[in-house]
Amino acid sequence: MLEIREGRRVPKVTFKTRAEHEWVDLDSDDIFAGKTVVVFSLPGAFTPTCSSSHVPRFDQLAKEFTANGVDEIACISVNDAFVMNEWKESQNVRNITFLPDGNGAFTDGMGLLVEKNDLGFGRRSWRYSMLVRDGVIDKMFVEPQEAGDPYGVSDADTMLEYLAPAAVKPLDVTVFSRGGCGYCAKAKALLREAGIDFEALELNKDYTDRTLRAVANATSLPQVFINGENVGGADDLEAWLSAVHEEEVKTAA
């Protein structure tokens, strides 16, 4: 049975990390003492679900976690420091501390070290997340003990909803753009002025005109997508932001 350790202290271990080409030992107190920490642990660096969903969403929601009292977000995996550092770099995240549990000591202490021999992984962590306050586990979300690699309760959204049910989540915004495009620059500036984070995809670098036609049924740029909706170009975005502002004013009145 997988353990639920709510109300208990995290295991006392030493994490063997690397910084600036030097070994740096961090013990559990360095990570947890006197702080509120969100931890999520997963089967392995560079693996599909971990790289495409688990890590990116925690990174995206980092500001919301910080605004609701979280001091640090930590990702733990039974991998060595070199692998974890390379994975963090490849993920292009800056809001998450990657902790290598190479010997599985922390994960074993959590009662969540499992056999993944069928995949050639050896012993790895079961997927879970937890909220830790001053070294004591406040809440755990452990994936059900099912075949494969279930992923449904240890995600960032579930943790944020537990921590702050009324928290407003950021918009998911992508701008299809191209270099030297004045309207593209305008759209990006409008989003920055509104304090909205966005992903910019550049023509012939991140996508082709075929992609644009397939996704947006359009050839003009920019094309701005917000939460799955094609808002349109820069002028359309300006009108959309104006309408949102008006609605916020009415709601506040």
50 is known as an active-site residue: yes
Instruction: List Cβ neighbours of 3 (8 Å cut-off, separation of 6 or more).
Output: 110, 111, 112
Q: How far apart are CA 141 and CA 110, in angstroms?
A: 13
Angle, CA 9 vertex, CA 7 and CA 13 arms, to 5°: 155
Question: What is the distance between the alpha carbons of residues 9 and 20, in angstroms, rounded to a whole number?
Answer: 31
> For residues 45 and 146, what is the distance between their CA atoms, to the nearest angstrom?
21
Alpha-carbon separation of residue 26 from 98, 193, 207, 249 (angstroms)? 12, 39, 42, 48
Q: Which two tokens stand for residue 49?
A: 């679900």
50, 75, 181, 184: which one is catalytic?
50
Using CB atoms within 10 Å of the CB of residue 21, give its burial: 0 to 12 exposed, 13 to 18 middle, 19+ buried: exposed
The two three-digit tokens of residue 185, written as one number: 């620059």
Q: Which residues are catalytic?
A: 50
